[in-house]
Structure 1
Amino acid sequence: MDTSAPAPKRSQQEPSGELGGSSEEPSSKHQRLIQSVQVDGDVLYTLDEDWGDYPGDHDEHLEAQWEESDEDLDWSDLKESDGPPELSGEQLAAVDHDAELEEVTRLVSMGVLKEAVDPSQLVVDDAKLLRTRFVHDWRYRDKVWKRRARLVCKQLRIWNPNRSDVYAPSTNPAVSRVVPLLFTSKPGWVMRALDIKDAFLCVPQREELYVTLGGRTYQVLYCLPGQQAASAWWGEQLAGDLKSAGLAVDVACPAVLGQESAGATVHVDDGLLGGLPHSVDAVVEVLEKRYKVQVSDPVSKPGDSLKFLKKDLTVTRDGLVIRLDEKYLNKVCEHLNITNPRHRRVPCTQDILGKDDSPELPVAQASLFRAAIGSLLYISPERPDAQFAIGALARCMSRPTKKAWDQLRTLGEYLWHTRHYELTLKWTFPGRSMLDERQMSAAEVAQKQVESANEPMLIEVLTDSDWAGAADRISTSSCHVFVNGNLAYSFVRKQGCISLSSCEAELVSAVSGTAEGLYIAHVIRTAGACTTKIILRLDSSSARALLYKQGVSRIRHLATKLLWIQTFTRRKIIEAAAIPTAYNTSDLGTKPLTSKRISMLMQRIGYNAEGNHVQAVRSNAHMKALKKAIAAIVVLTMNAEADALSLMQDTSHDMDEFYIFFFTSHPYMFIGFLAAVVIVVSLVMCNIWALVVQTTDHMEIYIVQNQMEDHMESHNIQNHIEDQIIQNHIEDQIMQSHIEDHIMQSHMEDHIEYHKEDYVILMVFIDFLVHYVEINLWRWMIGLTFAFVRAQV
């Protein structure tokens, strides 16, 4: 026998004397030969870890038994959509046996296992003997279902709790989009996904270890999946190989590497490469020399796509589209038994903020609740609109309630009806802000990429917070990090303290967001070999004021956090700037919002949400800013500078929006205001012109009358009757002319009386403007300069 194989599954009542060649009941230690575990609804059978203790005659008898009862199983006609074949216990055990033989043979041929030369003379210490088992699953390969067996090691931390060499570098949601962000910002870059096969089996062992299979002892020369240190050793080895290809490892996140013309993120044995074609090909060539690597085709032009970490990345004319696999959402609906979902427009209702006194769920239903939350936590980084609801429900996992279950179903139905949402990372260039709403063609962006190649990457951190909005009065922090206008990372977190004011809540959120912004900036600098600029955007003027002050003021209990971020602002490492509340996308994670508000913010981020709410909100904001601008100008015109300053002080938050739109984002608004003044003056001139036209018509009537009178005097009417007729006709015309003249004169007097007040106001206003321009022009210049400087800061 080369190796042992598990016996067919037996019921607990069936005697297992056949396995040992005896009718006696075996010991309790040997009764449990096959373990079965359930993974996603599939039953997987695993070999008992004590199987190696059986004597060799058991194996021979078992092999003979299988050889006699072996059947020719064929399921080649099954398609992938049909699922794996359904086999009986004995048939599945026979298939597993063949898969295990194939696995052991493969490991020996690869040099992972080496059979001991003289096992009888070999004495293996328990500390050097690995406990292993086979893990089975079905895989659809080469258009046929295949049963796969993998030999895995079983090492638990409790066996060696003081071991410290088991920590491996890994990616996290904050850096998962680093390469796609650089791909959309740098000219000429391509992307390729790679998958290294049998990664751990390529890592040499650093100590002498053995394994017993089927009564035979093998030395383990390379790491097996499941070893505690295998992941850490693999990370070190792969990092060394990538260093030889010219990539530098990031200190903050060793799973990110890069140079000027290429960058990479590595997640265990999966990787995403980006860079110039020759640099990416050079890295792939280095890896293919040492490992068996499956590499995707380069993506660079519209229509190209690849898969990485269960996400589809597709290049389009507008940018790079990231779409999450729907199977996780299908699992959520399956756990929640959602078969006919209602059309939900919001992920949660206001009830999620209230106190939960509903009864706890039964054990079985609580298990489904936790399983659904597990899938939602994986979805959360890709759906900023659902992060608040997912976070609130995840905090109920220890004690799920009826109310939490209802909210979870609401969230599941909302995600189902918005499953088509996908994020588009638009083509951009270094230094572009997320407030930049210009629609640029691909050619224009490509030109800007070349022109701004030496400009720093703009990292914008948008933070927001509610203030004691939940029942526990603990505020929630929300943060969105943008790189050159594209969303890089978003999160929602409960704050670790109870804030005493909205300013404190905003400050705590700003500190948390700044930490993430610094982390992402560090990773971007490594992956792209470029410089960065960090701007912290808040819609709280009081929090921004604290960032630029020195000292803790009256919030001494926040001294550590405040002094830390004040140091960064004073050293110009970060800049604090304003953002209108209407455009602060991090508002998504602070509280339940209306459907229109959610759609508008998701559109601003880059998601394909329904409706055109962005234009509506922009128009409202513009009108609001214009009204306040006119109010400030009127106050200044009436020489009430003190009142004007008071107006700005009382509405400093709103005036910040006016400064931004009036002087930065929309420089044509001032021209629009002047155009409005021109329109008003034009309307007045039109009224005056109407008066002139009416007067001209009146003069023409009098001219005709005079001509007729002259005609009467210059001619001698011979026929008295004709003369009388003509005279009567002339008198009728004169009378009609007098009547029309009287009516017209009455209309003119009424029109002048009706608009008299408008003309007086217009003349007074013009007089004020002339007087103000002549005497107080310098005040206008100072006011505009002050507003411009404040908007820039």
Structure 2
Amino acid sequence: MVVRNKVRLVAQGFYQKEGIDYEETFAPVARLEAIRILLAFAASKGFKLQQMDVKSAFLNGFIEEEVYVRQPPGLKSVRFPDRVYKLRKALYGLKQAPRAWYAMLKSFLLKFGFVMGSVDKTLFLLSRGGDTLIVQIYVDDIIFGGSSHALVCSFAEQMSREFEMSLMGELQFFLGLQIKQSPEGTFVHPAKYTKDILKKFDMGDSKPMTTPMNTNTALDANEDAEAVDQKEFRGMIGSLLYLTPTRLDIQFAVCLCARYQASPRTSHRQAVKRIFRYPKFTPELGLWYFSGSSLSLREFSDADDAGCRIDRKSTSDTCQLLGTSLVSWSSRKQASVSLSTTEAEYIAAASCCCQLFWMKATLSDFGLKYGRIPLLVDSTSAISIAKNPVLHSRTKHIDVRFHFLRDHYEKGDIDLIHVVEGVDNALIKGEIES
């Protein structure tokens, strides 16, 4: 059951100016990859995650700046009706409210004995007597779980004593995702959200499609075609982007169509509608995280050569797996035009390596240490550039920032492996273990 609360204490009527009314507004927010890593780790260790929601979270944080508000109706002073209140705590609508809430919660958790993650500042870990408790913060939503039921209950009691809490229980819904935890593992899927967006855009009765995009589809600006409603097109793209945190299979198609939001045409809308018809065919497709799965780390990298028909830039496609659990992926157009397939593959591998080191640093907070991590690439030429310095005389045009891939290979942080398209997973596993 979802409890809805009306917000009554809201700052309104004035526009805050940076440097005068506030200095800093940044508040750390957990990345979706961090949430998926936590789900995969919890499933592997076999403990269930719980969720709690803080009521009126932004009203708990203390603010450092001087902020004054009018006396609210019903609370006016009879003795001083013309005076104003000076705020000690934040209100909804203030720029610094999220930061003040995070500072308040962080202070409480550190006092409780938690240690903050070295990379992910929304991750807090507590070790006590051989047991571990993990807490992940996403603004006012808190996910937590651990190896000891008593430690989990103690933390929940402490939080309830300090803050007004709601929605405490097993994690089932988070950021539009449905999460089902069982002894066999954890299943994450957006079935309910999929049905909602199909209904929103009147596509509930449309014919399902088995693929998100035809392999022969080649979108371009198509300026001669009829223009469509830009607001509706952007709404459709935005709705589909909320599916991508659990639907890797539509990531490329959605990002491709998103490039034409400035001036959408009929061909672009038809492509987007086809993407909608694909989740209708697979409404409950999602991510499965096995219980007891190994926590080895590996990644895959690929790129198309000059795939964009407008500027001929290539697209980098990467994915990272924690054991058998898919926890991170991306489909992103490269910043520069590649002069060869080798260069496109090399740049994609370099961007994949960046994400790998963020994950490696994050997982170190969970107590996981890694040696050489396999990076599987389907281009022997790109691997040769990273391994052989003699070839660098031919690659001076490649930006220096991409050559750190070779540096980390020499340091032994990664192991570049050639993978053939369509190769059996068992062969990949055997090659990595050997």
Please say whether Structure 1 and Structure 2 have the same fold, judged by a TM-score greater than 0.5: yes
The one-letter code sitting in structure 2 at the alignment partner of 1:272 is I
Q: Which amino acid in 1 is paired with 2:39?
A: P
Return the match for 2:165 from 261, 279, 293.
293
User: Structure 1 residue 295: deviation in Å?
Assistant: 5.4
Q: 1:209 aligns with which of 60, 64, 67?
A: 67
1:627 aligns to what? none
Match of 2:256 in 1: 392
SS state of the match for residue 406, structure 1? helix
Q: Conserved in 1, the CA contact under 8 Å of 2:190 and 2:284?
A: no
- Spell out, residue by residue over 1:380-431, the C-alpha distance to the aligned partner (whole angstroms, 9 max, x if none): 121111011110111111111111111111111112221121221112344x
Aligned counterpart for 2:42 among listed residues 183, 204, 215: 183
- Contact 2:299–2:320 (CA<8 Å) still a contact in 1? yes
Asked whether the equivalents of residues 467 and 475 of structure 1 are also in contact (C-alpha less than 8 Å), the reply is yes
Contact 1:192–1:274 at 8 Å: present in 2 too? yes
Work out the CA distance in 2 between the residues paired with 1:422 and 1:218.
Answer: 50
Is residue 218 of structure 2 the alignment partner of residue 353 of structure 1? yes
Q: Tell me which residue corresponds to 2:341.
A: 502
Deviation at 1:317, TM superposition (A): 4.8
Give the Cα separation in 2 of the matches to 1:541 and 1:156.
Answer: 60
Query: Which segments of 5 or more consecutive residues in structure 1 lack a partner in the other structure?
Result: 1-79, 81-139, 299-304, 431-456, 584-617, 623-659, 666-789
Helix, strand or coil: the match of 1:176? helix
Compute the TM-score of the two structures, normalised by the length of structure 1.
0.49
* Aligned: 1:515 with 2:380: no
- Summarize deviations over 1:516-573 as a string: whole Å, max 9, x none: 11111211221x1221343211122221222222362311122513431111111111
Q: How does 1:723-762 map to 2 (within 5 A)?
A: none
What are the within-5 Å matches in structure 2 for residues 211-360 of structure 1? 211-212=69-70, 213-214=72-73, 217-259=84-126, 261-277=132-148, 278-294=150-166, 296-297=168-169, 306-324=172-190, 326-327=192-193, 329-335=195-201, 337-350=202-215, 352-357=217-222, 358-360=224-226
Q: Larger RCO: Structure 1 or Structure 2 (Cα < 8 Å, ≥ 6 residues apart)?
A: 2
CA RMSD of aligned residues (A): 2.8
CA distance in 1, matches of 2:209, 2:236: 18
| Whole-Å separation in 1 of the counterparts to 2:47 and 2:433 | 33
In structure 2, the CA distance between the partners of 1:403 and 1:204, relative to structure 1 (3 Å rule), is same
CA displacement at 1:244 relative to structure 2: 2.5
Q: Secondary structure at the match of 1:425?
A: strand
Q: Tell whether the 8 Å contact from 2:50 to 2:145 is kept in structure 1 after alignment.
A: yes
Q: 1-side partners of 2:28 and 2:47: how far apart?
A: 26
- Residue in 1 that maps onto 2:267: 403
Q: Using structure 2 for the length normalisation, give the TM-score.
A: 0.87
Letter paired with 1:196: V
Q: Retained in 2: the 8 A contact 1:152–1:225?
A: yes
Evaluate the alpha carbon distance shift between residue 349 and residue 156 of structure 1 in structure 2; reply closer, same or farther with a 3 A threshold.
farther
Q: Per-residue CA shift, 1:447-483, capped at 9, x if unaligned?
A: xxxxxxxxxx422111111111231321111111101
State how far apart, in whole Å, the 2-side matches of 1:499 and 1:423 are.
33
Match of 2:388 among 536, 549, 558: 549
Partner of 2:31: 172
- Trace 1:59-138 onto structure 2 (pairs within 5 A): none
In our comparison, the structure showing a higher alpha carbon Rg is 1
Structure 1's 156 and 389: CA in aligned 2 closer, same or farther, altered over 3 A? farther
The equivalent of 2:301 in structure 1 is 463
The letter of the residue matching 2:408 is: F
Q: C-alpha distance in 1, partners of 2:205/2:402? A: 50
Equivalent pair of 2:377/2:419 in contact (CA under 8 Å): yes
Q: 1:569 aligns with which of 405, 409, 432?
A: 409
Structure 1 distance, partners of 2:374, 2:350, is 13
Asked if the contact 1:258/1:264 (under 8 Å) is kept, the reply is yes
CA-to-partner distance for each residue in 1:669-705, whole Å, 9 max, x for gaps? xxxxxxxxxxxxxxxxxxxxxxxxxxxxxxxxxxxxx
Deviation at 1:332, TM superposition (A): 4.9
In structure 1, C-alpha distance between the alignment counterparts of 2:331 and 2:211, rounded to whole Å = 17
Residue deviations 1:248-295, cap 9 Å, x none?
222322112224512222100101112212333343233223111235
One-letter code of the match for 1:288? S
8 Å CA contact 1:296–1:306 kept in 2: the answer is: no
Tell me, yes or no, if the aligned pair for 1:324 and 1:382 is still in contact at 8 Å. yes
- In the TM superposition, what is the alpha-carbon distance from 1:152 to its structure 2 partner? 2.2
Aligned length: 415
Tell me, yes or no, if the aligned pair for 1:547 and 1:562 is still in contact at 8 Å.
no
Give % identity: 21
**Residue 368 of structure 2 is aligned to residue 368 of structure 1:** no
For residues 330 and 139 of structure 2, the distance between their equivalents in structure 1, rounded to whole angstroms, comes to: 24
Query: How far did residue 156 of structure 1 move?
Result: 8.2
